Amino acid sequence: MKRILRMAMVGGGQESFMAQFHRQAAQLTGRIQLASGAFGSTRHRSFEGGEALELPRDRVYGAYRDLLRKEATLADDQKPDFVVVSAPNNLHYPVAMAAFDAGFHVFCEKPLTTTLDEVLNLERKLNDKQLLLGLALPYTGYPMVRQARALIQEGRLGNIRRVAVEDPQGWLATRLETAGNRQAGWRADPRRVGPSGCMADVGSHGAYLAELLTGLSITEVSADVRACVAGRQVDDDGAVLFRLANGALGVLWASQISIGETGNLKIRVYGDKGGLQWELDRPDLLTLYGASGNAETLRTSMPPTPQQAMPPAGNCTGLCESLAYVYNQFADGVLAFDGKRELAPAYPSLAEGIRGVAFVDAVLRNTHPESTEKWTKLAV
């Protein structure tokens, strides 16, 4: 009979936004079951969340440390196979550290941590514990993102010269965080979101996509980021000039105050032989440019894995499908676990987490009021 993996969830109570997509993506795999959880920021909220999710009361905990301690002692046929961290950013690090200490594999929302020190500590811990870490970067789950990466790796674009990435969103164009909006509340609170708002939440996706597609690291940045909404304490919009390892030029623009925009992550990459464009608005298309000036549009038509069918062409791939793809990859990893952490897993993991934190760290150093340097190198 089918091996169903059990997951424990930290965070993701009723006020949570992303957690519901984690649960749906897990459901969609057909082989992951929510077994237990510490939901929400208070004991009360956690039990409320567990009840709404119809979990048995003895598998719901008021605090994540209780969950980790107790669940680690369960019998093999009850014990969670991994812990999902879908709590505000400041909790990613302590929960992941504690979960590793308790012997659990971890699947974590991004950003992996809010500071460079934390992410390097986490690296040491992971090397020590030899467990698995998955990171919820869903874009690799879109077939056309993978195809774009493959085409670039094959040399279809030649030597990469220019990358342009953008993701304008507008939901924080007003000061929602003081108007009772919980999502905005923690995302604009430096104690919970960390030192960066928009760059960590939105811009890091773009930076990840630029590195994923080109296979090149971002080496240095020159940025202009700001809190545009009066009184806000973290950046809500910014643009970054960047350079890739081969010297190629990059520009990235991310925003939470582009009023009326609902988010359309878009990336364009140009080499000396060709160019390409992918955007979230039409995730199943990939446009290729060649020297002729004509464009070729590839359209998704094949299922990507044995575990998961992609919808027939004409029906677009949604976030659930793309996140489920990453969950499926992670589930494969958990089932194949042989006591050692994977150094180059198929799913986004530690390396991608470090890159994301280092990118935001460099942007913040570059735009620090006391900084005068034009270009700031990424620390790792």
The footprint of a second copy on residues 150-169 (CB under 8 A) is 161-162, 164, 166, 168-169
The answer to whether 146 contacts a second copy (rule: CB under 8 A) is: no
Contact in structure between 177 and 233 (CB atoms under 8 Å) = no
Applying the rule CB under 8 A, the residues between 321 and 350 that interact with a second copy are: 321
The count of residues interacting with a second copy (CB under 8 A) is 89
Q: What is the dihedral of CA 100, 52, 135, 83, to 10 degrees?
A: 20
Q: Which of 180, 231, 314, 369 binds a second copy (CB under 8 A)?
A: 314
Q: x/- binding map, residues 102-141, to a second copy, per CB under 8 A?
A: ----------------------------------------
Q: Which is nearer to a second copy, 33 or 115 (CB)?
A: 33
Burial of 172 (0-12, 13-18, 19+ CB in 10 A): buried
Contact in structure between 157 and 271 (CB atoms under 8 Å) = yes
- Give dist(CA 9, CA 84) in Å, integer: 5
The answer to whether 369 contacts a second copy (rule: CB under 8 A) is: no
Q: Which is nearer to a second copy, 2 or 124 (CB)?
A: 2
Contact in structure between 280 and 264 (CB atoms under 8 Å) = yes
Residue 248: what residue type? A
The Cα angle at residue 334 between residues 333 and 338, in degrees rounded to 5: 85
Sequence-distant (6+) residues with CB within 8 A of 251 are 163, 164, 165, 239, 240, 241, 242
Kindly state the smallest distance separating residue 302's Cβ from a second copy, in Å: 10
* Options 99-107, 293-301, 343-351, 357-365: segment touching a second copy (CB under 8 A): 293-301
Contact in structure between 256 and 152 (CB atoms under 8 Å) = no
Kindly state the smallest distance separating residue 82's Cβ from a second copy, in Å: 18
Q: Which is nearer to a second copy, 312 or 339 (CB)?
A: 312
Applying the rule CB under 8 A, the residues between 247 and 286 that interact with a second copy are: 249, 251, 253, 255, 257-265, 268, 270-275, 280-283
- Give dist(CA 144, CA 209) in Å, integer: 12
Q: Which of 105, 129, 205, 243 binds a second copy (CB under 8 A)?
A: 243
The answer to whether 23 contacts a second copy (rule: CB under 8 A) is: yes
Q: x/- binding map, residues 52-91, to a second copy, per CB under 8 A?
A: -xxxx-----------------------------------
Q: Which of 24, 115, 181, 217 binds a second copy (CB under 8 A)?
A: 24
Q: Which is nearer to a second copy, 103 or 290 (CB)?
A: 290
Q: What is the dihedral of CA 74, 99, 125, 351, to 10 degrees?
A: 120
Phi-psi region of 130 (alpha: psi -120 to 50; beta: other; left: phi over 0): left
The answer to whether 297 contacts a second copy (rule: CB under 8 A) is: yes
Residue tagged 């995302």 (tokens): 187
Kindly state the smallest distance separating residue 285's Cβ from a second copy, in Å: 9
- Give dist(CA 19, CA 237) in Å, integer: 24
- SS3 string of 351-371? HHHHHHHHHHHHHHHHCCCCC
Q: Which of 30, 103, 155, 215 binds a second copy (CB under 8 A)?
A: 30
The answer to whether 224 contacts a second copy (rule: CB under 8 A) is: yes
Q: Which is nearer to a second copy, 126 or 244 (CB)?
A: 244
Kindly state the smallest distance separating residue 244's Cβ from a second copy, in Å: 12
